Amino acid sequence: MLAATTTAVAGVLAVHRVVKSYRDGVAVRRHDVAWGASRPYRVVHLSDLHVGATTPRRVLAEVAAAAHAARPDVVVLTGDYVNASSLYLGRVTELVRSLPKPCIATLGNHDHWVGPDRIALALARGGAKVLRNESALVGDLAVVGVDDGSSGAADLARAFRGVDPDRALVLTHYPNTADEIAALGPRLVLAGHTHGGQVDVPWVTRAVAKMTGNPYLRGFYRVGDRTELYVNAGVGHSLPGFRAGTTSPEVAVFDLRPVSAAG
């Protein structure tokens, strides 16, 4: 099934195509975004893998297959690789090893509960570069990784050190951190954490999220004057151990195109 919408993202035109394929209902969402880079970049964004008993291994395999099918320049991961146990760190390494490279990761609140150093090591063993308030270059694309704000680990001054925010693709687990990030003026922030609501009841889920201090549930939001936040619905489950409604496991694909090409 293919659907398309058009909105303004990062102050320019973007086209969003939703392709629901894969037998376990994985939603592959494609977004074309104008970007100030010298060449196009394709970014695959995954979040909230929650490797373990609550997330079927076949779903994780389908997500890895979808990531390869997209032929990305970089895969980015925005936290929560397990639930609350270190028993599955080997599986985390195995899954990350199966993803396209380069792969860049930030940490989430569950990772801090289990032990951020242990999670970072499992990711690194799988071939991911872990950014904890740091940045990395993929060609001339600056990727900034902000550590989890809900755990008190975010350090924006350190994360953006030596980086032009206008040229930065920002990764963070906790969407609310975008309120602070937006003050620096980056164009695009990618986040996760919410699972898109996980159990989606029309009208109710979004209302409850706002009342509990989570205004950013899934999809695009304008934050501040020029920053666009994208909240990925994630892949895995925490409790309850299932998804319902429109919160399919998500693979987000961003085509960042030079402004002339995107126009």
211-249 pLDDT tens trace: 556 778 888 999 999 999 999 999 987 655 545 455 678
More confident residue, 122 or 54: 122
In tens, the pLDDT along 23-38 reads 457 889 999 998 988 8
Q: At residue 78, does pLDDT exceed 70?
A: yes
Count the Cβ atoms, other than its own, within 10 Å of residue 238: 18
Q: At residue 22, does pLDDT exceed 60?
A: no
Supply the pTM of this predicted model. Answer: 0.87
Residue with tokens 């164009």: 187
Q: Quick one: which of 135, 138, 169 has its CA closest to 155?
A: 135
In tens, the pLDDT along 82-140 reads 988 899 999 999 999 999 999 999 999 999 999 999 999 999 999 999 999 999 999 99
In tens, the pLDDT along 158-215 reads 999 999 998 899 999 999 999 999 999 999 999 998 876 555 545 555 555 565 567 7
More confident residue, 206 or 154: 154
Count the Cβ atoms, other than its own, within 10 Å of residue 36: 15
Which domains are delineated in the chain? 2-262 (3.60.21.10)
pLDDT recorded at residue 11: 44
**C-alpha dist (Å) from residue 9 to 35, 38, 120, 169, 254:** 10, 19, 31, 13, 12
Q: Any bridge partners for residue 6, and if so which? A: 15
Cβ-proximal residues to 135 (8 Å cutoff; 6+ apart), any chain: 142, 143, 144, 145, 159, 160, 161, 162, 163, 168
pLDDT recorded at residue 237: 76
HSE, CB side, 13 Å, CA atoms: give it for residue 188: 28
